Amino acid sequence: MRGWVVATFVILAMACTPAPRTPNKANPRLRVTPLEVIVLDDFPIEPSCRGVAPRKIHVALDGVVKGTAVVPCREVVASPPPQFPIPAFEVPPGPHVVAATEPETETTAVVTVTFPVFAPPLGEAEDDEVRALATKMPVWASELELEIHAPRTTVTM
C-alpha cells in the first residue's frame, strides 16, 4: 500500500511541475518585421534632365546593404512626391542600425530602432487605440540631406 501512495505522489508531482519556459510564439514583441523602406523624392526639379544622372540611395541594416532606390531627375513638380520602395527585408526583433547613404554626395543618415514597432494603423491615435505592426520606413531624400523617419503602418502624403 505504501508503494502505491509514493507512486501516486510522484506522478502528481510530475504532472504539476511547470514545463520548461520556451519563447512564446504568440508574443508580438518577438515578431520578425518585414520592413519596406520607401525613399521619397524631395530633390529640386531641374530645368532639363539631359545629362543629369539619377541619384542612388543605398539602405543598410546593421551595415549590410539591403537595397538601392534609384531616383530619376524630374523636370516637373510632383505632388505628392514620387516614392521609390526598396523590396521588403526581414528584421529580427531587437535594436538595429538603419542607414541611408547617397555615395555620390557622401550624404548619410543613421538611426537606431528597436524592432518590432507597433503604431496606429492610420497615423496618429490616442493611447488606448489599436496598434499594428509598422512595416514601412520613409526616407526623405533632398539636395542637402537624407532624413530617416520612424517606422509606420502606411506612407501617405
pLDDT at 126: 59
pLDDT at 91: 97
pLDDT at 28: 67
Q: Which long-range contacts (CB under 8 A, 24 or more apart) does 102-108 make?
A: 102/55, 102/56, 102/57, 102/58, 102/141, 102/146, 103/56, 103/58, 104/53, 104/55, 104/56, 107/144, 107/145, 107/146, 108/146
Q: Give residue limits of the domains in the chain.
A: 24-148
List, for the chain, all residue ranges whose pLDDT scores fall below the cut of 70: 1-26, 28, 122-129, 156-157
pLDDT at 128: 58
pLDDT at 125: 57
pLDDT at 3: 52
pLDDT at 17: 43
pLDDT at 120: 77
pLDDT at 16: 46
